[in-house]
């Protein structure tokens, strides 16, 4: 095979004590959550003290890990083999609660209440399309600070939200910062802060338009919200910048997760480029759900020709069915191989692990162990 990427050595990454954070990212529906959980379990059973932060696990997987309750606190996962001295805690992100806690920690109780009750805050913290990204990063920062302080964990594995685009997650701190510096925010704050002469002609055009479009009451709510939030902005920006620095640090390893599909691999390629541009430490690519390889060399064309011959005599031929299934399998594998080669041609240095599709969904620790073993056995099967 041309363009064979170097195999990803998962165990070396997990065993390296300087690896403190592993971030799994990629398009939606490629198995990020399962990969995160499998890596976390494997690391724990190899002696690391691990906490895994998941965003939206499948119900049965969450149940088997004991985290079907959204309580925003890491809980120990039962039935983990702790023989090597490791442990595994898991938690599911509660985005609203994380946001509320940040507000409460940054403001006086009275001010916090004012913010938490504002309709704009309620909308922002529960339904705004970027909040989950901000809060996943915020929670990561919290877990890391706590781990440093009390030694409760030495490895944090993070699953990232199923973003519209994988980039939202990297852009979250930056977007927050630039928003806080935005002219519009200053504009909304102007009446609350300054003398009337600040209200330039441009300003009144804008507020008049906004009043016209939104109605005066919305604008007032918005102003109250921004004014109340203003005192917290500095703190927010500082935290966002800290998290960004944390992601760039040597102790962080990014794994880009994909499936052997054009869209997922295109997004993965984009992500790899973006991580490289931002000096984020890229550990490798995980290609999930690879189709199992064929068991015989017979080509798809030969199989189809033979099946056609048999079916012209007997349309219900079982052998023809076997041949067609084989041809389908070969074609899918060839297509997947081609897609992966194309990725490797453009990104030859990215260590890669290919994980074959499991026959059924993973919803217990044994299933996660099997995935972990498969992740770690790259290069041994000659693929």
The interface with other proteins within residues 244-283 (CB under 8 A) comprises: 259, 261-264
| Least distance from other proteins to the Cβ atom of residue 358, Å | 10
Residue 172's contacts (CB-CB under 8 Å, 6 or more residues apart) are 130, 133, 134, 137, 240
Q: Which of 56, 278, 364, 383 binds other proteins (CB under 8 A)?
A: 56
Q: What is the DSSP string of 240-292?
A: HHHHHHHHHSTTEEEEEEE-SSHHHHHHHHHHHHHHHHTT--EEEEEEEEEPP
Rounded to 5 degrees, φ, ψ at 258 are -145, 170
Residues 137-166 that bind other proteins (CB under 8 A): 162, 164-165
Site string for other proteins, 281-320 (x = CB under 8 A): -----------x-xxx-x---x--xxx-xx-----xxxxx
Residues 34-53 that bind other proteins (CB under 8 A): none
Between CA 38 and CA 159 the distance in angstroms is: 11
Q: Which of 78, 148, 192, 205 binds other proteins (CB under 8 A)?
A: 205
Scanning 126-134, 142-150, 237-245, 372-380 for contacts with other proteins by CB under 8 A, the matching segment is: 126-134
Residues 70-109 that bind other proteins (CB under 8 A): none
Between CA 327 and CA 323 the distance in angstroms is: 6
Give 293-296's long-range contacts (Cβ < 8 A, gap of 24+): 293/333, 293/383, 294/326, 294/329, 294/330, 294/333, 296/326
Q: In terms of CB distance, is 203 or 346 closer to other proteins?
A: 203
| Least distance from other proteins to the Cβ atom of residue 28, Å | 3
Q: Please say whether the beta carbons of 246 and 141 come within 8 A.
A: yes
Of 373, 371, 350, 154, nearest to 254 by C-alpha is 350
194 binds other proteins, rule: CB under 8 A: no
| Least distance from other proteins to the Cβ atom of residue 259, Å | 6
| Least distance from other proteins to the Cβ atom of residue 201, Å | 9
Q: Which of 76, 85, 119, 234 binds other proteins (CB under 8 A)?
A: 119
Q: Which of 1, 2, 18, 59 binds other proteins (CB under 8 A)?
A: 59
| Least distance from other proteins to the Cβ atom of residue 184, Å | 4
| Least distance from other proteins to the Cβ atom of residue 205, Å | 5
116 binds other proteins, rule: CB under 8 A: no
Q: Is the Cα dihedral 68, 171, 246, 257 positive or negative?
A: positive
| Least distance from other proteins to the Cβ atom of residue 14, Å | 26
Quote helix, strand, coil % in the chain, to nearest 5.
60, 10, 30
Between CA 365 and CA 362 the distance in angstroms is: 8
Q: Which of 123, 148, 245, 373 binds other proteins (CB under 8 A)?
A: 123
| Least distance from other proteins to the Cβ atom of residue 249, Å | 27
Residues 319-338 that bind other proteins (CB under 8 A): 319-329, 331-332, 335
218 binds other proteins, rule: CB under 8 A: yes
Between CA 118 and CA 325 the distance in angstroms is: 59
Q: In terms of CB distance, is 3 or 209 closer to other proteins?
A: 209
Query: DSSP E strands: which ranges in the chain?
Result: 21-25, 49-54, 75-76, 87-92, 155-159, 252-258, 282-290, 352-356
Q: In terms of CB distance, is 221 or 278 closer to other proteins?
A: 221
End-to-end Cα distance, the chain? 9
Q: Please say whether the beta carbons of 351 and 8 come within 8 A.
A: yes
| Least distance from other proteins to the Cβ atom of residue 199, Å | 13
Tell me the two tokens of residue 281. Answer: 């430490």
């Amino acid at each position: 095979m041309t363009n064979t990427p170097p195999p990803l050595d998962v165990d070396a990454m997990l065993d390296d004590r300087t690896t403190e954070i592993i971030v799994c990212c990629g398009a939606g529906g490629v198995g990020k959550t399962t990969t995160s959980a499998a890596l976390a379990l494997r690391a724990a059973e190899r002696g690391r003290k691990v906490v895994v932060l998941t965003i939206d696990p499948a119900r049965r997987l969450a149940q088997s890990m004991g985290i079907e309750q959204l309580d925003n606190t890491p809980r120990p996962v039962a039935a983990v083999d702790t023989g090597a001295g490791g442990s595994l805690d898991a938690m599911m992100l509660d985005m609203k609660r994380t946001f509320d806690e940040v507000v409460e920690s940054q403001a006086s109780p009275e001010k916090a209440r004012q913010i938490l009750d504002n309709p704009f805050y309620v909308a922002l913290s529960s339904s705004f399309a970027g909040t989950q990204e901000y809060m996943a990063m915020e929670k990561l920062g919290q877990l890391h600070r706590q781990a440093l302080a009390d030694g409760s964990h030495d490895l944090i594995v993070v699953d990232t939200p199923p973003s519209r685009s994988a980039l939202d997650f990297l852009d979250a701190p930056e977007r927050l910062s630039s928003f806080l510096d935005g002219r519009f925010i200053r504009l909304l704050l102007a009446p609350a802060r300054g003398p009337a002469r600040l209200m330039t002609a441009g300003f009144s055009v804008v507020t008049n338009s906004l009043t016209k479009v939104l109605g005066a009451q919305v604008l007032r709510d918005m102003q109250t919200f921004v004014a109340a939030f203003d005192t917290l902005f500095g703190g927010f920006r500082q935290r966002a910048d800290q998290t960004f620095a944390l992601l760039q640090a040597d102790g962080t390893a990014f794994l880009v997760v994909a499936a052997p599909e054009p869209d997922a691999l295109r997004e993965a390629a984009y992500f790899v480029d973006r991580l490289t541009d931002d000096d984020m430490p890229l550990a490798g690519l995980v290609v999930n759900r690879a189709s199992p390889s064929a068991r015989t060399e017979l080509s798809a064309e030969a199989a189809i020709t033979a099946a056609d011959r048999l079916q012209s005599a007997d349309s219900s031929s079982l052998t023809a069915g076997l041949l067609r299934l084989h041809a389908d399998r070969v074609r899918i594998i060839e297509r997947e191989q081609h897609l992966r080669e194309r990725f490797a041609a453009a990104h030859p240095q990215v260590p890669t692990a290919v994980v074959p599709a499991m026959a059924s969904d993973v919803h217990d620790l044994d299933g996660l162990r099997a995935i972990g073993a498969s992740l770690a056995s790259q290069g041994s099967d000659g693929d």
